[in-house]
């Protein structure tokens, strides 16, 4: 996974856009660049999660409409066969989704550091409490592992089992950070809502994360490309 940094600019963009601009801009960028005007990929169960306004994203039953910090996403499901001629490459999509979710996890860490750094217990910052420091460090260890795995990756380098495991690990890391953030992470207009939608994206394209394991064991056949 070395010597290929130049080839991964696109994947870094998803991560950076997610971290600095948020979920909807990053997901929109992913659709624009990977789908290239084609139908958005469906998950193995026929589900799609897309920002409002993406052409062809909602082809079946709308199951959820979720407002996040910077826009709205729609989750839908179609039982019909994908339209013929759809060419969205699954490998590119799967890597892009993973990079995007990792960027959102980094954004969540940024939010946690800012929030905890701004609160005090007695005369000390909450962020500087030993248990909080340890909790943050645990999350950072997870993120360093994930980042290292993703570094230099191009579509197809990491197979579906690895990407499924990485997505489970991102979910677990997010949960650690949400617990550190406290009750603010349970509000529908805060960073916890982004984490919720991020989990939904993983659920749709890779299957649900199982608590306590990110072993790469997939829970269903991936139908990937639409």
Partner 1 sequence: MIELDDRTLAMQRRARAWAQELKPLALELDQDPDAIHRHLDVGIMSYLTRVTVPPEFNPDPVVIDGHRFYGTGTLERVVFAEEAAAGDAGMLLAAPGPVMSGVLVDAMGDEQQKKWFYTRIMEKPTWTFFALTEPDRGSDAGAMSTTLTPDGDDHFVLRGAKHYIGNAARADLGIVFARTRPGPLGVTAVLIETSAAGFTAEPLETIGLRGLRITAVTLDDVRVPAGQVLGRHLRATQRGMWSAVQGLNRLRPGVAAFGLGIARAAYEYVLDNRRTLSAAERHRLDRLGLRLTELRQLIWRSAIAVDDNEPAAGYLASAAKARASRLAEEATLEALGYFGPGARLDHPLLDKLARDARGVEFMEGTGNIQKLNLFTGLVQGSLRRD
How far is CA 88 from each of CA 30, 31, 142, rounded to the nearest angstrom? 11, 10, 30
Residue 117 binds to partner 1 (criterion: CB under 8 A): no
Give the shortest CB-188-to-partner 1 separation in angstroms.
Answer: 4
Binding-residue pattern over the window 83 to 102 for partner 1, x denoting contact by CB under 8 A? --------------------
187 in contact with partner 1 (CB under 8 A): yes
Question: If binding is defined by CB under 8 A, does position 71 make contact with partner 1?
Answer: no
| Residue 91 C-beta: closest distance to partner 1, Å | 17
Instruction: Tell the smallest beta-carbon distance from residue 180 to partner 1 (Å).
Output: 8
Residue 62, beta-bridge partner list: 76
Which range binds partner 1 by CB under 8 A, 80-88, 105-113, 146-154, 191-199? 191-199
**How many other CB atoms are there within 10 angstroms of residue 134's CB atom?**
10
State the Cα–Cα distance between residues 68 and 23, nearest whole angstrom: 8
Which member of 20, 119, 128, 133 binds partner 1 (CB under 8 A)? Answer: 119
Binding region for partner 1 (CB under 8 A) out of 50-58, 80-88, 145-153, 175-183: 175-183
Return the closest-CA partner of residue 112 out of 126, 96, 101.
Answer: 126
Q: How far is CA 66 from CA 97, 104, 177, 200, in A?
A: 18, 16, 21, 11
Least separation in angstroms between CB 3 and partner 1: 34
Instruction: Report yes or no: 132 and 180 within 8 Å, Cβ to Cβ.
Output: yes
Residue 135 binds partner 1, judged by CB under 8 A: yes
The b/e string for 147-164 (b: 16+ C-beta within 10 A; e otherwise) is eebbebbebebbebeebb
Binders of partner 1 among residues 140 to 159 (CB under 8 A) are none
Q: Does 112 bind partner 1 (CB under 8 A)?
A: no
User: Is residue 200 at the binding interface for partner 1, with CB under 8 A as the rule?
Assistant: yes
| Contact in structure between 136 and 145 (CB atoms under 8 Å) | no
Distance CA 143, CA 105 (A): 8
Residues that bind partner 1 (CB under 8 A): 43-47, 63-64, 75, 77, 118-122, 131-132, 135, 171, 175, 178-179, 182-183, 185-189, 192-193, 196, 199-200, 203-212, 219-220, 222
């Amino acid at each position: 996974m070395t010597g290929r940094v130049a080839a991964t600019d696109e994947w870094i963009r998803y991560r950076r856009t997610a971290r600095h601009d948020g979920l909807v801009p990053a997901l929109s960028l992913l659709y624009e660049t990977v789908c290239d005007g084609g139908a958005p990929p469906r998950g193995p169960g026929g589900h799609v999660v897309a920002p409002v306004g993406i052409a062809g994203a909602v082809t079946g039953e709308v199951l959820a409409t979720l407002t996040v910090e910077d826009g709205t996403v729609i989750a839908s499901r179609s039982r019909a066969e994908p339209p013929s001629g759809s060419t969205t490459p699954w490998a590119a999509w799967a890597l892009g989704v993973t990079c995007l979710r990792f960027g959102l996890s980094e954004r969540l860490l940024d939010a946690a550091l800012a929030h905890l750094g701004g609160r005090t217990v007695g005369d000390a910052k909450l962020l500087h409490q030993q248990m909080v420091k340890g909790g943050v460090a645990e999350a950072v260890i997870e993120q360093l592992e994930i980042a290292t795995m993703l570094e230099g990756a191009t579509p197809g380098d990491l197979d579906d089992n690895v990407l499924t495991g990485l997505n489970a690990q991102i979910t677990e890391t997010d949960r650690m950070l949400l617990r550190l953030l406290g009750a603010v992470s349970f509000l529908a207009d805060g960073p916890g809502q982004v984490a919720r939608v991020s989990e939904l994206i993983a659920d749709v394209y890779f299957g649900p994360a199982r608590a306590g394991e990110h072993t790469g064991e997939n829970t269903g056949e991936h139908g990937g490309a639409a």
